[in-house]
């Protein structure tokens, strides 16, 4: 672990020295050796399976970026306040995790809008044919439009993927046949709603700003906060365990007799839930810690708070990715007597 931290820190500092001299460079780490590119698309194209890609702060156009190998992609984060020293990592376009991308990680970036489907991460394939199974991927601490699992084929499976600690200002959804999305983890996200997801999934400690869970079967829906009506239409959610959720509506929305309903908290006024939150659009100035008087305190099935600060993936302040983070920098406007440019960089290791 120490070797990896030192190696990662070396690449970050080397990338930063390149930034000072020229423009933001994307670093590809392959078997201990870094190489640098000006474009994210070139870095992905020239990488090999298992490589790690570090994307510094800045804006990069990616169009349709297809990932067909295992990659570990790290930005510097998407929160403007936490990335003051570097700027946040912004990619404009959309990402497709296709055949060969199992075990890929995408962490700490903002995916912006550019054309149809912009800002979306697709699992499988954008095309309506030739569906691909994708498993064991992680999307963490990103700011994205939506996540779409592409399938109309019962034999195509999306399993053991982890979607956690993201701001998703649209939806998590499938394009077609939902049962192929199974045994995934949707945890500690702030999002709109989640629709037509298949069986065996864990939907835990999320905050749903605009609505509902719909078309979910044989899954566990627990420790979430649902702000608005329209959640969990019982006629479309079957054979689930729905427990320890805090809801801005009454118990009538959990209507199906096939669901197991336990220890949910109903009819909560939105202004009484969080320390500072209003409306249906995420803002960086909002505070999603529960008010001390909220009945959701320590009310999760595991004894932690409901919402994004409880559970197994509690929300990290600033959404900082787990790699070493540049907290501050000071760059002199003049060289010293020896012709060197004085630079002072403060870097902090992250515990998770």
Mean pLDDT for 281-305 is 96
**What DSSP character marks residue 319?**
G
CA 246/CA 233 separation, integer angstroms: 16
Residue 109, pLDDT score: 94
What SS3 state is found at 19? helix
CA 1/CA 223 separation, integer angstroms: 33
- Confidence band for 166, pLDDT divided at 50, 70 and 90: very high
Is a pLDDT exceeding 50 seen at residue 293? yes
Is a pLDDT exceeding 70 seen at residue 21? no
The encoded tokens of residue 182 equal 């199974």
Cα of first residue to Cα of last residue in the chain, in angstroms, is 12
CA 122/CA 247 separation, integer angstroms: 30
**What DSSP character marks residue 300?**
S
Q: Which of 127, 160, 123 is nearest to 144 (CA)?
A: 123
Mean pLDDT for 322-345 is 53
Q: Parallel, antiparallel, or unpaired for β 190-195 and 207-208?
A: parallel
CA 106/CA 110 separation, integer angstroms: 10
For the chain, the average pLDDT equals 82
Is a pLDDT exceeding 60 seen at residue 151? yes
Residue 328, pLDDT score: 41
What's the pLDDT tens digit per position in 189-219?
A: 999 888 877 789 999 999 999 877 888 888 9
Residue 64, pLDDT score: 93
What distances in angstroms separate CA 248 from CA 194, 207, 251, 286, 306, one per listed residue? 17, 12, 10, 18, 13
What distances in angstroms separate CA 352 from CA 74, 201, 312, 315, 316, one per listed residue? 14, 24, 12, 11, 9
CA gyration radius for the chain?
Answer: 21
CA 313/CA 27 separation, integer angstroms: 28
Residue 311, pLDDT score: 96
Q: Over the range 269-288, which residues count as b (16 or more CB within 10 Å of their CB) and which as e? A: eeeebbeebeeeebeeeeeb
CA 270/CA 247 separation, integer angstroms: 9
Residue 324, pLDDT score: 53
Contacts of 68 (CB under 8 A, 6+ apart): 98, 99, 100, 101
Model pTM? 0.86
What's the pLDDT tens digit per position in 242-270?
A: 999 999 887 766 666 788 999 999 999 88
CA 71/CA 5 separation, integer angstroms: 18
- Name the residue with higher pLDDT: 279 or 300: 300
What's the pLDDT tens digit per position in 92-150?
A: 999 999 999 999 999 999 998 866 667 999 998 776 666 788 999 999 999 999 999 88
What's the pLDDT tens digit per position in 342-351?
A: 454 444 444 5
Residue 321, pLDDT score: 81
* Neighbour tally for 345: CB within 10 Å: 16
Residue 23, pLDDT score: 59
């Amino acid at each position: 672990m120490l070797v990896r931290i030192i190696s990662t820190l070396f690449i970050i500092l080397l990338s930063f020295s390149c930034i000072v001299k020229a423009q933001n460079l994307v670093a590809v780490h392959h078997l201990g050796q870094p190489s640098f590119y000006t474009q994210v698309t070139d870095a992905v194209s020239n990488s090999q399976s298992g490589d790690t890609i570090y994307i510094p702060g800045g804006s990069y156009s990616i169009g349709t970026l297809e990932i067909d190998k295992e990659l570990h992609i790290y930005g510097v984060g998407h929160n403007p306040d936490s990335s003051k020293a570097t700027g946040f990592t912004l990619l404009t376009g959309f990402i497709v995790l296709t055949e060969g991308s199992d075990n890929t990680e995408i962490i700490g970036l903002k995916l912006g809008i550019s054309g149809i489907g912009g800002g979306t991460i697709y699992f499988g394939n954008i095309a309506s044919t030739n569906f691909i199974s994708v498993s064991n991927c992680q999307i963490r601490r990103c700011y994205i439009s939506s996540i779409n699992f592409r399938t109309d084929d019962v034999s195509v499976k999306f399993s053991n993927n982890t979607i956690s600690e993201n701001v998703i200002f649209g939806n998590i959804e499938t394009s077609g046949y939902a049962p192929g999305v199974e045994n995934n983890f949707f945890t500690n996200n702030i999002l709109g709603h989640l629709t037509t997801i298949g069986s065996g999934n864990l939907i835990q400690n999320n905050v749903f700003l605009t609505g509902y869970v719909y078309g979910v079967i044989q899954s566990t829906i627990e420790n979430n906060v649902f702000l608005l009506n329209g959640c969990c239409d019982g006629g479309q959610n079957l054979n689930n365990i729905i427990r320890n959720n805090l809801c801005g509506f009454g118990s009538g929305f959990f209507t199906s007799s096939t669901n197991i309903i336990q220890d949910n908290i109903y009819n909560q006024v939105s202004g009484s839930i969080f320390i500072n939150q209003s409306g249906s659009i995420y803002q960086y100035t909002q505070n999603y810690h529960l008010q001390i008087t909220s009945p959701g305190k320590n009310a999760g099935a595991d004894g932690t708070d409901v919402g994004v600060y409880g559970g197994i993936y509690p929300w990290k302040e600033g959404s900082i990715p787990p790699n070493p983070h540049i907290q501050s920098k000071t760059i002199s406007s003049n060289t010293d007597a020896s012709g060197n440019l004085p630079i002072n960089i403060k870097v902090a290791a992250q515990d998770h």
